[in-house]
Structure 1
Amino acid sequence: MLGLIETKREAISKLDVIRIWGYSTVRWEYVESRGASGGLLLMWDEAIFKSRNCYKGERWLCVEGVLMKSNFNCAFCLVYGAFGREEKRVVWEELSYIVGLCQVPFCLFGDFNEILHSEERKGATNPPASSEEFRDWVHDMQLVDLPLNDRKFTWFRGRSCSRIDRVLLNIEWIEQFPDIRIKGGPRGLSDHCPLIVEASRVSRGPRPFRSLDSWFTHEGFLRLVRDEWRNLGDAHFTSKLKALTIPLRKWHRDNFGDMNRRLLLLEEEIKKVDNQVSNGTYDGTTEARRKALVSFCEKWYVRKELHWKQMSRSQHARNMDRNTRFFHNIASARSRNNRIDVLRIHGRIVRNQARVKAAIIGFYKDLYR
């Protein structure tokens, strides 16, 4: 999928599209410009994306369809943000309407002509009112702003720099493509940097061992640690820590594996008890069973929230809001943000993951020698 903004073309022919795309198996939709101002163009390979519907606005172009390889129903929307505050509100309202109309996972990308935070504009201390409204709109729509790791700004004019180009996704999209990320391309003659979206999986090597806060809510956790530690005898401290990870991993699988399934089973049992009460069956045993099930269910909700709060390290989780998909989403974003894809080694840019890994290991070996 390729989106172009400010085409400044009132009409676009197949020949124009083929010249840009390179070969003829391309489909496209466009929004004509007004004279030499504006204009949008979306192009895609019809063997990869099968379009079903197209919706157009003056400052946005939406194509709904299915990604053939994964059979993923979705919509792409190219956006060219307005300049005035009132005009921006109109565009956001139109985008809200089209997202609700399509009812599929959405990818909104383009020039939104607005920042989300003050650090996205050089020299800005307080974001404008329109920025706060934009941030509220993104939050209300439950959209995720993909982080841009290889550059700070996307628009340049003289001494002015801002990040006004972005990719916004909803949670369903992140769940389908957890490794999705963006990077900036070469700016060339334009005052905007192109954004490149990638969804390829990257091998991250072995996963480090991590102690989970939710373990401490289980009555058997500390007892297990104490017994296993004693059984290891007088071994070296670091050796005992390493050996302890083996029984802890097994204990985690046995006691915390598939928390969603455990919660689902408890909720189903509570529903069965409620149905019995609805049918007139109610006694002390029924009430005691329901109280016990609710207590177990509440305990697992707390454990699940603790787990995702720790994974996301989110300040928004202080009040223990039970929106665990939100925490899961932040944790995924942190994982993408923390990944090292490129490293400068002895003045050269290296993208090979094996060389990057070897350089990092060598650096810390020298540091702690």
Structure 2
Amino acid sequence: MDNYGDFNNVLSQDEKKRGLSIKNYETQDFVDCVASLDLLDLRFTGCFFTWMSPKVCSKLDRVLVNQRWNSSNLDGFVEFKASGCVSDHVVCIVCIVSVLEQHKQKLKPFKFLNMWTLTNEFVDIVISNWRFNGHGTLQYCLKQLFKGLKQPLEVLNIELFSNISARAVVAKNKLETMQEDMLPSGVMLDDYREVKKNTEMLLESERLFIAQKAKLNYLKHGDKCTKFFHDLIKKKNKRNAIIAIQNQDGITVTKPLEMAH
């Protein structure tokens, strides 16, 4: 930050109320600094404006995090509280929590994974389990049909796709080893085609799984930038997670059990 100094300014027009209008040149250095360092505001509760004079309110105090924070196993939020007569700036309280601890007791809902459709077993499961002999509305019958697929698909996922990234690495290493053995002699091994087909299926399954989880299906088909995907997944999980709730007594709670209650 030594190259930029103390900005003492806002990032946008809506971060100031009353007083003289903000000129673009006044905020440009701060905006450029935040963009070049790839910084984002940490989520916050409490006061939006963090500094006030008798006539002006502005957001001069903030907590910024970088991509390393977003890809870590830590999460947190900021609570901005009025300071009374102590200062014309608000009190800034940062709370840091572990993402692993936060999600430890959370039950994972059933979610259809696109990679399942790459196997022949998927079609067989749908054909053998797509039946319901009861009665009810069309919506109820459809729900029961899908419900009948849930357990068989979970078993399929455990047997063929659990730890998909690790499976893909093992298969890729095996394929490369076979190729290194065959290329000097030119002798084709009997199971080479099967190994190659299985490796391609696992690599494509990994791509579909990570792309679906990161919700970035628009990326090019061959883009397997795994670290990039995982960083985005962690960032989205942090953004979507509820890490603090204010109860009816006005007390902010952060523990998962207390928030659930």
The superposition leaves residues 98-142 of structure 1 with CA deviations (integer Å, 9 ceiling, x where unpaired) of: xxxxxxxxxxxxx99798x8599558898836635643443xxxx
The structural deviation recorded for 1:247 is 1.5
Question: 1:151 and 1:223, CA in 2 relative to 1: closer, same or farther beyond 3 A?
Answer: farther
Question: 1:266 and 1:205, CA in 2 relative to 1: closer, same or farther beyond 3 A?
Answer: closer
Greater length-normalized contact order (CA 8 Å, ≥ 6 residues apart): 2
Q: Is the 8 A contact 2:114 2:209 kept in 1?
A: yes
SS in 2 for 1:252: helix
SS in 2 for 1:327: helix
SS in 2 for 1:198: strand
1:313 & 1:166 partners in 2: Cα distance? 25
Q: TM-score scaled to structure 1, two decimals?
A: 0.51
The structural deviation recorded for 1:252 is 0.7
1:198 aligns with 2:97: yes
2:211 & 2:16 partners in 1: Cα distance? 32
1:154 & 1:346 partners in 2: Cα distance? 24
Of residues 47, 58, 75 in structure 2, which corresponds to 1:160? 58
The structural deviation recorded for 1:207 is 1.7
Of residues 286, 296, 299 in structure 1, which corresponds to 2:198? 296
1:295 & 1:318 partners in 2: Cα distance? 23
The structural deviation recorded for 1:282 is 0.9
Q: Aligned ranges for residues 305-320 of structure 1 at < 5 Å?
A: 305-314=207-216, 318-320=219-221
The superposition leaves residues 30-51 of structure 1 with CA deviations (integer Å, 9 ceiling, x where unpaired) of: xxxxxxxxxxxxxxxxxxxxxx
Q: Is the 8 A contact 1:122 1:162 kept in 2?
A: no
Q: Aligned ranges for residues 1-369 of structure 1 at < 5 Å?
A: 81-82=1-2, 87-88=3-4, 121=15, 128=28, 131-132=31-32, 134-138=34-38, 145=40, 147-150=42-45, 155-157=50-52, 158-161=56-59, 164-168=62-66, 170=68, 174=72, 177=73, 179-184=74-79, 186=81, 188=83, 189=87, 191=89, 193-199=92-98, 201-202=101-102, 203-230=104-131, 232-234=132-134, 237=141, 238-277=143-182, 280-283=184-187, 285-286=188-189, 289=192, 293-314=195-216, 318-320=219-221, 321-344=223-246, 348-349=250-251, 351=253, 353-354=256-257, 356-357=259-260
More strand by percentage: 1
Q: Percent identity at matched positions?
A: 15
RMSD of Structure 2 on Structure 1 (CA): 4.1
SS in 2 for 1:180: strand
The superposition leaves residues 322-341 of structure 1 with CA deviations (integer Å, 9 ceiling, x where unpaired) of: 22222222222322332334
2:23 & 2:201 partners in 1: Cα distance? 44
The structural deviation recorded for 1:225 is 1.9
Consecutive unaligned residues of structure 2, counting only runs of 5 or more, are none
The superposition leaves residues 137-172 of structure 1 with CA deviations (integer Å, 9 ceiling, x where unpaired) of: 43xxxxx85741435858535322257421335279
Consecutive unaligned residues of structure 1, counting only runs of 5 or more, are 1-80, 92-110, 139-143, 359-369
